[in-house]
Amino acid sequence: MEKICFKTQKGPAAIGPYCTATIYGDTVYMSGVIGVDPAAGKPVEGGTLAQAKQVFENIRTVLGELDLTMDDVLKTTVFLTNLGDFAEVNKLYAEYFGPNYPARSCVEVSRLPMGLSIEVECIARLRK
């Protein structure tokens, strides 16, 4: 099998030396996604919930480029700089990923790129 480096054309550009997602076989390993407006290239304003909404929209956009949907996501890891935001983010997460939810981990971290408060990475299945 060949490893394929996928770089988004519609989602936010990578801010470092990595690809948006690595495709290997029938699995997509998406890099962490942050709340950056792809058109402006800047973080969205409005706090953690606004950032989370942008993160989930960015994930949806990248998956769409691969002809996938949120239903194809098998596993997520959510990184928050404040676990006190968990309940609020969890409600929004449920709207985007439910009702057939992927497996998930959620951890608190001290800092995230661009001073943001949430980042989410995903593993998804390719449709054949």
**What CATH number does residue 79 fall under?**
3.30.1330.40
Token code pair at residue 11: 């989602």
Calculated CA dihedral for residues 37, 40, 41, 45, nearest 10 degrees: -50
- Count the Cβ atoms, other than its own, within 10 Å of residue 118: 28
Task: Give the contacts of 39 (CB within 8 A, at least 6 positions apart).
Answer: none
DSSP for 91-121?
A: HHHHHHH-SSPPEEEEEE-S--GGG-SEEEE
Type of residue numbered 46? G
**Domains contained in the chain, number:** 1
CA distances from 84 to 20, 29, 62, 89, 94 (A): 28, 28, 28, 10, 17
pLDDT of amino acid 15: 82
Q: Determine the structural domain holding residue 113 and report its residue range.
A: 3-125
Summarised one tens digit per residue, pLDDT across range 5-16 is 999 999 998 888
Q: How confident is the model at residue 107 (pLDDT cuts 50, 70, 90)?
A: very high
Q: How confident is the model at residue 4 (pLDDT cuts 50, 70, 90)?
A: very high
User: How far apart, in whole angstroms, are the C-alpha atoms of residue 31 and residue 121?
Assistant: 5
Q: Is the pLDDT of residue 35 over 80?
A: yes
Q: Is the pLDDT of residue 128 over 80?
A: no
Indicate whether this model's pTM tops 0.85.
yes
The residues that are catalytic are: 106
